[in-house]
Amino acid sequence: MWTGDEETYRNAFVEMIDYYLNLADKTASNPPEHRSRWHCDGAIWYWTYENNKTPAEFARLIERTRDGSISLPLNFLVSTHGGTLTEATLRGMYYAGSLERRFGLKIPVAIAMENQTLPYGLGGLWAGAGARYSWKGICGCLTKIKRTERRPHEIYWWPGTDGPVETLIKFTFGIKSAYRTTHIETDLEPVSLSVDGALSAKFARQQLQTYRIRTTVKGSNEK
């Protein structure tokens, strides 16, 4: 850890979120350009807040997330992505994805700060997880690369080489088909469904941490 122990960071996350929640309340009636905005640099801030505050207090944070006063990226931590496994990158976005599903949020941002390089395939992983935007700032670290001066443009389009891959998963009961949107190859065993069509607990715990499942039920247009 950079400047403190686990308890120091836990307290800092909670205290800063409380501060900016209060500031959001104080500035809510101001014109938009004069309202408070705060962006947490990892979903760990929200996880820490949820696990150290009451449900009502966390609900307050979620409501300020809905109105844009406070936001978070899909990333759980500020990671060194060049040294991070693909699986770890994907699983690192699980908690933010669970917030999307639990509270009907959309978290369109993923970030890679500080390190002076950026893995080429990272954009594909983020896009497959639902990110549409990113930003990057680099630090004056010991290991430097040339040409880090101001770029010709402020915004860039980051294309991937493969594009999103739609992979068919065959279920053994009830659901006609399901697709996962991802940028990596993997093999999944068929998953048995209960009589009511629910996914097994094992599948929900292990597979949904990594893959977004889009299902089409026979006789229905629901997804």
Mean pLDDT across the chain? 74
| CB count in 10 Å sphere of residue 36 | 18
pLDDT above 50: residue 167: no
CATH number of the domain within which 42 lies: 1.10.1240.90
Task: Read off the pLDDT of residues 51-87 as tens digits, 9 standing for 90 and up.
Answer: 999 999 999 999 999 999 999 999 999 887 878 888 9
Least-confidence region, from 92-106, 126-140, 147-161, 177-191: 177-191
Most confident of 51-60, 76-85, 187-196, 200-209: 51-60
Regarding whether 97 and 27 lie in a shared domain, the answer is yes
One domain for residues 175 and 113: no
Q: What percent of the chain has pLDDT over 90?
A: 41
pTM score > 0.75 for this model? no
Owning domain of residue 76: 6-128
Look at residue 133 and tell me if it is in a domain.
no
For residue 91, tell me if it sits in a domain. Answer: yes
Inform me whether the pLDDT recorded for 117 exceeds 50: yes
pLDDT above 80 for 187: no
pLDDT band, residue 179 (cuts 50/70/90): very low
- Whether 178 and 83 share a structural domain: no
- Our count of domains for the chain comes to 2
Are 122 and 178 in the same domain?
Answer: no
Sign of CA dihedral 208, 212, 218, 222: positive
DSSP of the chain, one letter per residue? Answer: --SS-HHHHHHHHHHHHHHHHHHHHHHTTS-GGGS--EE-SSTHHHHHHHHHS-HHHHHHHHHHHHTTSEE--S-SS---GGGS-HHHHHHTTHHHHHHHHHHT----B----B-S---TTHHHHHHHTT--B----B---SS--S--S--S-S------SS--EEEEE--SSSEEEEEEEESS----------TT-PPPHHHHHHTTTT--EEEEETT----
Contact 70, 64 (CB under 8 A): yes
Q: Which of the residue ranges 37-51, 173-187, 209-223 has the most confident prediction, judged by mean pLDDT?
A: 37-51
Residue 29 maps to a domain = yes
Confidence of residue 156 (pLDDT cuts 50, 70, 90): confident
Residues 27 and 92 in one domain: yes
Last residue of a domain, one of 100, 128, 156: 128
CA 43, CA 174: separation in Å to the nearest integer? 35
Contact between 73 and 41 (Cβ < 8 Å)? yes
Round to whole Å and give the CA distance between 38 and 72.
9
Task: State the number of CA atoms in the 13 A half-sphere of 199 facing the CB.
Answer: 14
